Amino acid sequence: MDVGVFLGSQYSAGEDIAAAVTGLIEQTKLIRDTGYDAVWLGQHFLSHPEQYLQTTPLLARLAAEAGEMNVGTNLLLLPMLNPVDVAEQYATMDVITGGRLILGVGLGYRDQEFAAMQLDKKDRVGRLTEGVEILKRLWTEDDVSFRGKHFTLDHVSIAPKPLQSPRPQIWFGATADKAIQRAATHADAWIATSMTEWGEMKRQVDLFHQTRAEAGLSKDVRFAKCVELYVGDDKESALREAEPFIGAKYKAYYSWGMGDNVPGESGANISDFGDLTRNRFIVGGPDDVIEDCLYHRDVLGVTDLIVRLNFPGMPKELVHRNIERFATEVIPHIR
C-alpha cells in the first residue's frame, strides 16, 4: 500500500498566507524526507473569509520539493473548468514533475461555486465525462475534433504532451453509488471520501469492482482512500489533541453540504467528536492507527492511502510531529 499526504491549503481569514505557503513547502520537504509516496492538493473556489490557495500554481511550487514522490490533485473541480486549459496546464505539470502526475477530478458540490462560474450544477456530470474524454484525447492524439453537449473542438492539438505514456492517470473522487459506478467505468482509479463509514465503504468497494467486472474491465485497478489521521500517545490524548482542528474542519464541510451525498450516516448530526471519528477517521495511539490502516489495506483493499495530517489552525509543531510519527511508527507496519 502506497501512502501519500493530502496537504490542506485552507487558512483562516487573519492568517499570514505567505507564511502558510512557507509552511506547506516545509511540510513537503519533511514528507519527502520521511519516506512518503505522494503529496496531494485539493481545490475550492470562493472560500472567503477563509483563504484557500489555488491548486495549480501551488502544486507546481511544491513539486520543486517533492523529489521522487508523485504529485496529485485531490480533487480538481473539472466541471467548473475548461478541459483544454486543464489538458495544457497539467501536461506541463507532468513535464516539470518528471512524469509523476496523477490527476484526480471530481464533480464539486457547492452551489455557490457553480453559480459564480455561470454554470448550472445540473450539468456537472456531463461536463465531467466530456471533459475527461477530451483530456484523454488531447494527451494522446493530434488533430482532435469533438462534438458534445457542453464542449466542441475542431481539429486541435496540444504541445507539449505529457511525459507519461500513454498519459497521466485520471482518478475520480466519488461518494454516491452512481458516482462510484461512473468512476469504475470512466476512471483509472477511484478516490473514496473520508466521510463514509467503513462498513458502508465495504459495500461500495464491492459495487466498484462489480461494475468494472460487468463492463469487462480488469480487476487490477488502484483504489485510493482519503483518511483524516492523527497519531497521539494513546487514544484519549489523540482525541483531545485532534478535536479542535479536525472537528472544526468538519463543521465547515457539513455547512458547505459536503455530507449530502454520503451514504448511510454522514456524521453531520453527530456532536461528540469521539463518535464522529469512530469507523470514519483514524485517531489514536500508534497501535490504534496501525490497526485501522491495516483494515483499510486488508479488508477494504486500499492500494493508495491518502492521509491528511494537517488541519486549519493546527500549530506547526503538531503538524510536523504528526507527519514524523506516522512515518516512523506506522508506515513500516502497513506497507
Handedness of CA 59, 63, 66, 69 (dihedral sign): positive
For 238, the grid coordinates are 489523540
Q: Band of the pLDDT at 252, cuts 50, 70, 90?
A: confident
Rounded mean pLDDT, 249-265: 78
DSSP states along 304-332: EEEEE---TT--HHHHHHHHHHHHHHTHH
**Whole-number Å distance between alpha carbons of 234 and 240:** 10
Distance of CA 173 to the CA centre of its chain: 7
**40-60 pLDDT per residue, tens:** 999 999 999 999 999 999 999
328, amino acid identity:
T
133, amino acid identity:
E
User: Given the DSSP bridges, would you call strands 2-6 and 222-231 parallel, antiparallel or unpaired?
Assistant: unpaired
Q: Tell me which of 109 and 271 has the higher pLDDT.
A: 109
Q: What is the pLDDT of residue 129?
A: 98
Q: What is the mean pLDDT of the chain?
A: 95
Residue 307: closest CA among 288, 330, 285: 330
**272-300 pLDDT per residue, tens:** 899 999 999 999 999 999 999 999 999 99
Q: Which residue has the cell 490542506?
A: 8
CA dihedral 239, 224, 66, 64 (to 10 degrees): -110
**Whole-number Å distance between alpha carbons of 64 and 236:** 38
Total Cβ atoms within 10 A of residue 116: 12
**46-104 pLDDT per residue, tens:** 999 999 999 999 999 999 999 999 999 999 999 999 999 999 999 999 999 999 999 99
Domains of the chain, first to last: 2-334 (3.20.20.30)
Has residue 190 got a pLDDT over 90?
yes
Distances in whole angstroms, Cα of residue 94 to Cα of each of 36, 73, 74, 329? 19, 12, 16, 32
**Whole-number Å distance between alpha carbons of 188 and 182:** 11
For 321, the grid coordinates are 510531529
**18-41 pLDDT per residue, tens:** 999 999 999 999 999 999 999 999
Q: What share of the chain is helix, strand, coil (3-state, %, to 5)?
A: 45, 20, 35
For 131, the grid coordinates are 471533459
Distances in whole angstroms, Cα of residue 279 to Cα of each of 144, 195, 197, 242? 46, 10, 5, 16
**148-170 pLDDT per residue, tens:** 999 999 999 999 999 999 999 99
Handedness of CA 149, 155, 161, 165 (dihedral sign): positive
**Whole-number Å distance between alpha carbons of 246 and 224:** 21
Residues 6+ apart with CB under 8 A from 125: 79, 107, 182
DSSP states along 185-213: HH-SEEEE-SSS-HHHHHHHHHHHHHHHH
**Whole-number Å distance between alpha carbons of 257 and 6:** 21
